[in-house]
């Protein structure tokens, strides 16, 4: 029942997105612009410092994620569909999981594009040296970021100042995700990939996910009750 | 006319006077105790800032935990009293956090040679401060339903502390380890714990004042509603 509702909400979001592709295209283009802006700031004489590609990748994911989160809920607000969604005789936490999976799906698509671009532009072929570990880092980081982000974006729907409040609240709280993601990725990008280090950061990311997904599921119901 | 909110403030008002006097006396005595404490062997005079720097973090984290726990109580029970406690505590936490963030770099400049270092304690303190400034911004500009929103910020901010600490700690570290506090020589430990007690009392004084203000604001709102 729970999983079915979550999947239905996800399917609804995917169906809308497949038809309009509005959030997907804007998010992707924004992510690529981010990479370019950072490239102009950080590339010197055609070379980047050792850890820079990892940093650029994760910053682009975080920025694009914020944009996607805002747009996803703006659509619900604009169509006044969030009320209908919350009135549905379904556990609120299932609705949360559905919305969160939608954001995760969007970010995964963005990452599929971003990773090769970063690898290509910054000569960071090391990203593909340990594909499973790297994919794990990306997945765990994306889930943690989306869990906190979906909760805050949903709450902020009622607020007039939601556009500016979302990043203000989201970035300080998701700093552990950024640190762990960047450090884990940088460990893999070294000339001799440091797998133990990357695994340790992956462990931190997974524990962050467990704690914050639980917290979000626990608080979503009272938060969304008027 | 009976307003329940004011009644609940009575016991608090009775203990406020004595606590205020004790706090004032302790802060008056603190400089003498600190001046008489022995000089730390490597850092010398500048180490004395430690007696105010560390206690302000103690007070800040007390505020953070009070805000987080009462935020959760407000969220799940809907009790507006809990919200008033949480928001008062959060505001004072930000105040003590600013104190820590000002005294820290002053000390760091002299003992490490740099104003700021991205070590675990500093990073954690800065982020917790940012999260709770976010809390205050949400309350001020969040509009309708910002009480619930801020409660969630407090809960998430509190849960975030171990993660920030852990990740920043692995990332890099330079700060004197936390284990230095229990192993302080008693000549330094005495004044230190005295200052901690003084700061905690200061926290209590400010917190009671702030809560009283919040209670009166709520009472005023209730009176307005009754008039209409």
Could you report the per-residue pLDDT of B201-225, keeping only the tens digit for each? Answer: 999 989 999 998 989 988 998 899 8
pLDDT tier at B19 (50, 70, 90 boundaries)? confident
Chain B partners within 8 Å of A211 (Cβ): 159, 163
Interchain pair B141, A161: CB under 8 A = yes
Mutation site for B-interface testing, chosen from A165, A180, A182 by largest number of B Cβ within 10 Å: A165
Measured between CA atoms, the residue of chain A closest to residue B134 is: A169
Mutation site for A-interface testing, chosen from B134, B156, B159 by largest number of A Cβ within 10 Å: B156
Q: Is A103 left (phi over 0), alpha (psi -120 to 50) or beta?
A: alpha
| Residue B174 in this model has a pLDDT that exceeds 60 | no
| Residue B3 in this model has a pLDDT that exceeds 50 | no
| Residue A225 in this model has a pLDDT that exceeds 70 | yes
pLDDT tier at B4 (50, 70, 90 boundaries)? very low
Domain holding A176, by residue range, is 2-224
Length of chain A: 226
Q: Specify the long-range contacts of residues A16-24, CB closer than 8 Å, at least 24 apart.
A: A16/A75, A17/A102, A17/A106, A22/A71, A23/A68, A23/A71, A23/A72, A23/A75, A23/A106, A24/A106, A24/A109
Whether residue A178 contacts residue B163, with contact meaning beta carbons closer than 8 Å, is answered with no
pLDDT tier at B1 (50, 70, 90 boundaries)? very low
> What gap in Å lies between CA A202 and CA A138, rounded to an integer?
9
In angstroms, the separation between the Cα of residue B120 and the nearest Cα of chain A is 12
| Residue B6 in this model has a pLDDT that exceeds 50 | no
The distance between the two most distant Cα atoms of chain A, rounded to a whole number of Å, is 60
**What does the pLDDT read at residue B183?**
61
Interchain pair A169, B144: CB under 8 A = no
pLDDT tens digit string along A49-108? 878 899 999 999 999 999 999 988 888 888 888 888 888 888 889 999 999 999 999 999
Interchain pair B75, A212: CB under 8 A = no
For residue B100, give the nearest of B53, B30, B46, B48 by alpha carbon: B53
Mutation site for B-interface testing, chosen from A54, A173, A182 by largest number of B Cβ within 10 Å: A173
Average pLDDT over residues B180-202: 76
Select the residue of A148, A176, A211 nearest B167 (Cβ to Cβ).
A176
> What gap in Å lies between CA A27 and CA A110, rounded to an integer?
7
**What does the pLDDT read at residue A69?**
93
| Residue A185 in this model has a pLDDT that exceeds 80 | yes
ipTM comes to 0.87
How is chain B classified by DSSP, letter by letter?
---HHHHHTHHHHHHHHHHHHHHHHHHHHHHHHHHHSPPBTTTBGGGGGHHHHHHHHHHHHHHHHHHHHHHHHHHHH--HHHHHHHHHHHHHHHHHHHHHHHHHHHHHHHHTSSS----HHHHHHHHHHHHHHHHHHHHHH--TTHHHHHHHHHHHHHHHHHHHHHHHHHH---SPPGGGTTT--HHHHHHHHHHHHHHHHHHHHHHHHHHHHHHHHHHHHHHHHHH-
**What does the pLDDT read at residue B42?**
66
| Residue B2 in this model has a pLDDT that exceeds 50 | no
| Residue B64 in this model has a pLDDT that exceeds 60 | yes
User: What tokens were used for A185?
Assistant: 């990725």
Mutation site for B-interface testing, chosen from A58, A222, A224, A226 by largest number of B Cβ within 10 Å: A222
Chain A partners within 8 Å of B163 (Cβ): 176, 204, 207-208, 211
How many structural domains comprise chain A? 1
Q: What is the separation of C-alpha B127 from the centre of its chain, rounded to a whole number of angstroms? A: 14
- The Cα-based distances of A135 to A31, A35, A101 in angstroms read 18, 20, 17
Chain A partners within 8 Å of B131 (Cβ): 169, 172-173
Percent of chain B with pLDDT over 90: 29
> Is A106 or A1 the better-scoring residue by pLDDT?
A106
**What does the pLDDT read at residue B10?**
64
How is chain A classified by DSSP, letter by letter?
-HHHHHHHHHHHHHHHHHHH-HHHHHHHHHHHHHHHHHHHHH-BTTB--TTHHHHHHHHHHHHHHHHHHHHHHHHHHHTTHHHHHHHSSS-HHHHHHHHHHHHHHHHHHHHHHHHHHHHHHTT-GGGGTSHHHHHHHHHHHHHHHHHHHHHHHHHHTT-TTHHHHHHHHHHHHTHHHHHHHHHHHHHHHSSS--HHHHHHHHHHHHHHHHHHHHHHHHHHHHHH--
pLDDT tens digit string along A123-135? 887 788 888 999 9
Interchain pair B134, A226: CB under 8 A = no
Count CB pairs under 8 A between chains A and B.
87
> What gap in Å lies between CA A52 and CA A197, rounded to an integer?
18
Interchain pair B153, A169: CB under 8 A = yes
Whether residue B128 contacts residue B157, with contact meaning beta carbons closer than 8 Å, is answered with yes
**What does the pLDDT read at residue B190?**
78
User: What tokens were used for B223?
Assistant: 């009176």
Select the residue of B138, B146, B155 nearest A215 (Cβ to Cβ).
B155
**What does the pLDDT read at residue B186?**
65
Lowest mean pLDDT among A207-211, B2-6, B189-193: B2-6
Select the residue of B144, B148, B160 nearest A176 (Cβ to Cβ).
B160
pLDDT tier at A29 (50, 70, 90 boundaries)? very high
């Amino acid at each position: 029942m729970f999983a079915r509702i979550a999947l239905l909400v996800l399917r609804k979001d995917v169906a809308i997105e497949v038809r309009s592709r509005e959030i997907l295209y804007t998010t992707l283009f924004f992510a690529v612009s981010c990479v370019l802006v950072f490239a102009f700031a950080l590339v010197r004489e055609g070379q980047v410092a050792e850890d820079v590609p990892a940093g650029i990748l994760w910053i682009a994911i975080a920025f694009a994620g914020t944009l996607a989160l805002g747009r996803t809920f703006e659509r619900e607000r604009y169509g006044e569909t969030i009320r209908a969604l919350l009135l549905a005789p379904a556990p609120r936490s299932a609705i949360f999981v559905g919305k969160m999976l939608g954001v995760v799906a969007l970010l995964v698509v963005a990452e599929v594009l971003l990773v090769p671009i970063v690898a290509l532009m910054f000569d960071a072929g090391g990203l593909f040296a340990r594909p499973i570990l790297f994919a794990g880092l990306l997945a765990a980081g994306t889930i943690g970021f989306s869990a906190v982000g979906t909760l805050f974006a949903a709450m902020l729907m009622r607020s007039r100042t939601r556009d500016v409040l979302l990043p203000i609240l989201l970035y300080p709280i998701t700093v552990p995700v950024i640190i762990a993601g960047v450090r884990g990725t940088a460990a893999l990008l070294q000339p001799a990939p440091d797998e133990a280090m990357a695994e340790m950061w992956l462990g931190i990311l997974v524990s962050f996910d467990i704690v914050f997904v639980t917290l979000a599921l626990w608080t979503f119901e009272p938060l969304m009750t008027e | 006319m009976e307003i329940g909110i004011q009644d609940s403030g009575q016991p608090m008002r009775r203990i406020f006077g004595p606590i205020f006097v004790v706090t004032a006396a302790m802060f008056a005595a603190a400089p003498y105790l600190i001046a008489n404490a022995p000089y730390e062997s490597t850092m010398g005079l500048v180490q004395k800032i430690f007696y105010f720097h560390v206690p302000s973090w103690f007070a800040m984290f007390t505020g953070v935990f009070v805000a987080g726990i009462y935020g959760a109580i407000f969220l799940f029970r809907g009790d507006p009293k809990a919200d008033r406690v949480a928001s008062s505590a959060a505001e004072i936490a930000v105040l003590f956090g600013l104190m820590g963030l000002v005294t820290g770099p002053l000390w760091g400049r002299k003992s490490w040679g740099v104003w700021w270092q991205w070590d675990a304690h500093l990073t954690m303190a800065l982020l917790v401060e940012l999260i709770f400034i976010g809390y205050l911004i949400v309350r001020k500009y969040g509009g309708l339903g910002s009480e619930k929103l801020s409660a969630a910020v407090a809960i998430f901010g509190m849960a975030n502390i171990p993660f920030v600490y852990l990740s920043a700690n692995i990332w890099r570290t330079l700060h004197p380890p936390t284990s230095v506090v229990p192993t302080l020589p008693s000549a330094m430990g005495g004044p230190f714990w005295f200052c901690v007690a003084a700061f905690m009392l200061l926290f209590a004084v400010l917190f009671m004042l702030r809560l009283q203000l919040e209670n009166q604001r709520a009472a005023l709102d209730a009176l307005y509603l009754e008039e209409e």
